Amino acid sequence: MRIQSNSMMVLSLYWSLLLPTPVVRADEPARPAEVKVAAVQVLGYDKTDLPRAGFDPSEVVARFIARAAGDGAQLVVFPEYLLGRIAVPGAETGRIARAAAAGKIHVIVGCWEVFEDGSFANTALLFDRSGKIAGKYRKVHAAVDHHEGQPPWSKPPQGKDLDWFLRNDPEWMMKRGDDFPVFDLDFGRIGILTCYDGWFPESARILSLRGAEVLVWINGRKGPVEDFLVRSAMFQDEVAMIATNQAYGSGTMIGQWPAQILAACTEPKESYITATIDLQRIRKARQNSRNRPQRRPDVYAEIVRPNATGR
């Protein structure tokens, strides 16, 4: 499904004519001018699901990987939480690794990564074309639901054991990420955000400043992923975006800078989309950016101060 209004087509032509082709240094490897990607809206394990016998979403993931590779996609993205509580590496990641290697395609998929001591993290796994786990991103901003204290959501519920948190609000207990890494793939640089991370403009801005050209935003929530957040992040941070959600929600989409939604899943059901992202347009925009050279980090200190209470 492709969504592109006449005004967006005119805007696209405007930018392609306005921005000159960037100069590539002789020692720089040639990078593709565009990349075809796929996004999958599918059901798997949810936030509070514990492992259950006979249910292994990695089998469905492997089938969609083969489909995306057959369509010529270079990257396929799945939702948050999807693989459930698993060891990494393990049987599930092994199945995905084999599918990625067979299709020679990059894969991003979410899980609860469980460590030997029983602790866990909300992790997005990045598989390269050989099937190797080439990177991990751990969710930085915990999407906690049950709250106590003032201000709200500042303290976890008291008197609850680990089993309660696993079944009701595991993000209070998860190991939170403390960085926004950028991954250099053979077609370009990407950054990953997980669900609630996308509600913080600092997340996308940091990744963009670190060189990410495509932001991957995986979600696992009811309701739609917000297209206005995707559009605003793309426009302000000069990036393309791929957003996914589980099939009990909607809003899986692929977007192109400056603010185009190229393809989208608008209903809460299993869906699959592909689109081609113009990477050259992003690179031209950055080389000729008006905003980037005029940033004033010296006056942005308020952004990194702890939250003031009572205001």
pLDDT above 90 (res 310): no
> What percentage of the chain reaches a pLDDT higher than 90?
84
The answer to whether 170 and 121 are in contact (CB under 8 A) is no
User: What gap in Å lies between CA 45 and CA 27, rounded to an integer?
Assistant: 45
Q: Which residues contact 299 (CB under 8 A, 6 or more apart)?
A: none
pTM over 0.75: yes
For the residues 242-258, what does the mean pLDDT come to?
98
- DSSP SS3 for 204: helix
For the chain, what is the mean pLDDT? 91
Which structural domains are found in the chain, ordered by start? Answer: 35-141+176-289 (3.60.110.10)
What's the CA gap between 108 and 103, in Å, rounded?
14
Q: What is the DSSP string of 213-234?
A: SEEEEE---SEE--HHHHHHHH
Three-state secondary-structure class, residue 125: strand
Instruction: Decide the pairing of beta strands 189-194 and 214-218.
Output: parallel
CA dihedral 69, 70, 71, 75 (to 10 degrees): 0
Rounded Cα distance between 101 and 65, Å, is: 10
pLDDT tens digits for range 179-226: 999 999 999 999 999 999 999 999 999 999 999 999 999 999 999 999
